[in-house]
């Protein structure tokens, strides 16, 4: 068995290229040009560990040790290989010396008792899922060039990591299901937040997005406990599902620079009212789907289309459709049982899917003076609601 041959001083393996050496309770592997080593196996982990920063190796005798001996040459350890410490529950604290430049995928994954990780190096590359499942991790100090997707996924006690370095983005699901409560810890170098980066985390309170963020991808803040969102001027797009499922979210402030609110952006939130600035030209499907408390909406006068299920199952009592609206898609107002009045300002009736309104008493549609006949012709003959028989929509023109 391989583990049985480890000792404080050990030799290279019998491989033809002498690429692997053992020293102490570790196995190391040379890089391609044999100038540095990667730590890729640990026989016996301990509660508190400072990983070795160099290995002394004598190429003639093919022996290695963690301490100087004879004519052995020192080789820096620059990498923790993937899965090296994965699932080692005895580890509580790790110190990574300054020699390390890279930590590969899942290196410390599911070290469920790991509480503290300190890296002394600068511009270290951390690959995906390095600490995923480390549910006891509380203290993190790293200087990173980049971090990988899912790196802190499931780190439920991680509230305020100390992260510095050249990071320019937070990758997919990096802090998903973590204990993060706010984004104040993010380095100033961060300009992009990728998909689901903070989804299901413990984000709470008032979220004010920095102006430096150029991209925030789908679902980045979904299923969190944020209470309000302020989006500053300069933002032009809110991606799909960005705040979906944030049931505590009741207040949203949108900038005049905004042009697009993508599908499901605010679905299943606690929003009570929303002012969509006139700069918005695209409102995606299901944008406010199942916003049970939403009872007041100001629509942009630049919108030409209301997509499917945009206001499905909301508390709207009335809504004003600007003259720009030309089309209303399927189930846009489905299950809006409190909706009694729709005010249309277009001289030309908007095209509407036959199932735009379903499962409730149809509202009264208020139309511009002199346009009652045109609206009646469309909506009483297969337009909104698509029903010609009893219960047709009532169109009223102002007196």
pLDDT in tens, 153-167: 999 999 999 999 999
Residue 222: the pLDDT is 99
Residues 213 and 170: beta-carbon distance below 8 Å: no
- Residue that wins the pLDDT comparison between 329 and 398: 329
Distance CA(153)–CA(242), nearest Å, equals: 18
Q: Between β-strands 296-298 and 237-238, what pairing exists: parallel, antiparallel or unpaired? A: unpaired
Q: What is the mean pLDDT of residues 194-201?
A: 99
Residue 384, pLDDT score: 52
**Higher local confidence (pLDDT), 365 or 3:** 365
* Percentage of the chain modeled with pLDDT above 70: 89
- At residue 380 the predicted structure's pLDDT band, cuts being 50, 70 and 90, is low
Per-residue model confidence as pLDDT tens digits over 284-323: 999 999 999 999 999 999 999 999 999 999 999 999 999 9
Query: Closest Cα to residue 100, out of 123, 67, 68?
Result: 123
Mean pLDDT (whole number) for 184-190: 96
**Residue 391 pLDDT level (bands cut at 50, 70, 90):** very low
Q: Is 376 helix (H, G, I), strand (E, B) or coil?
A: helix
- Give me the chain's average pLDDT, please: 91
User: Contacts by 374-377 with C-beta closer than 8 Å and gap 24+?
Assistant: 374/347, 374/348, 374/349, 375/344, 375/349
Contact of 253 with 229, CB cutoff 8 Å: yes
- Does the pLDDT value for residue 375 go beyond 50? yes
* pTM for the whole structure: 0.90
Task: Please give the DSSP secondary-structure letter assigned to residue 377.
Answer: H
> In 3D, which of 198, 194, 141, 187 has the Cα closest to residue 171?
194
Looking at residue 398, its pLDDT comes to 60
Higher pLDDT, 348 or 352: 348
In tens, the pLDDT along 72-129 reads 999 999 999 999 999 999 999 999 999 999 999 999 999 999 999 999 999 999 999 9
Q: Which stretches of 63-191 are assigned E, i.e. beta strand? A: 63-65, 73-80, 93-96, 102-103, 116-119, 124-126, 139-147, 162-165, 169-170
What is the structure's pLDDT at 18?
Answer: 54
Mean pLDDT along residues 185-189: 96
């Amino acid at each position: 068995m391989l583990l049985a041959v480890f000792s404080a001083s050990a030799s290279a393996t019998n491989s033809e290229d002498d690429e692997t050496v053992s020293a102490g309770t570790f196995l190391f592997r040379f890089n391609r040009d044999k100038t540095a080593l990667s730590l890729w196996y640990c026989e016996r982990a301990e509660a508190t560990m400072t990983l070795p920063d160099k290995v002394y190796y004598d190429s003639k005798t093919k022996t290695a040790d963690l301490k100087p001996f004879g004519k052995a040459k020192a080789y820096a350890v620059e990498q923790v290989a993937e899965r090296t410490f994965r699932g080692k529950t005895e580890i509580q604290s790790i110190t990574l010396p300054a020699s390390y430049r890279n930590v590969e995928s899942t290196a410390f994954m599911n070290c469920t008792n790991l509480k503290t990780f300190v890296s002394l190096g600068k511009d270290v590359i951390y690959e995906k899922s390095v600490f995923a499942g480390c549910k006891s991790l509380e203290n993190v100090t790293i200087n990173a060039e980049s971090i990988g997707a899912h790196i802190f996924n499931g780190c439920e006690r991680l509230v305020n990591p100390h992260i510095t370095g050249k990071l320019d983005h937070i990758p997919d699901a990096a802090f998903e299901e973590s204990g993060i409560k706010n984004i104040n810890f993010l380095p100033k170098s961060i300009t992009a937040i990728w998909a689901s980066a903070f989804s299901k985390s413990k984000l709470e309170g008032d979220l004010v997005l920095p102006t430096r963020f150029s991209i925030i991808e789908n679902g980045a803040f979904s299923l969190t406990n944020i209470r309000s969102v302020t989006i500053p001027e300069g933002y032009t797009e809110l991606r799909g599902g960005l705040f979906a499922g944030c049931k505590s979210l009741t207040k949203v402030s949108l900038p005049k620079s905004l042009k697009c609110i993508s599908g499901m952006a605010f679905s299943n939130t606690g929003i009570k009212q929303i002012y969509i600035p006139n700069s918005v030209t695209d409102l995606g499907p299901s944008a406010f789907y199942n916003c049970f408390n939403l009872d007041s909406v100001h629509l942009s006068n630049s919108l030409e289309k209301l997509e499917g299920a945009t206001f499905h199952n909301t508390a709207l009592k009335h809504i004003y459709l600007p003259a720009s609206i030309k089309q209303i898609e399927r189930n846009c107002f489905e299950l809006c049982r409190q909706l009694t009045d729709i005010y249309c300002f277009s001289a030309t009736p908007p095209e509407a899917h036959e199932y735009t309104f379903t499962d409730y008493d149809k509202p009264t549609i208020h139309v511009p003076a002199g346009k009652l006949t045109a609206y009646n012709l469309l909506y009483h003959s297969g337009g909104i609601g698509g029903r010609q028989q009893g219960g047709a929509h009532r169109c009223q023109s102002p007196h």
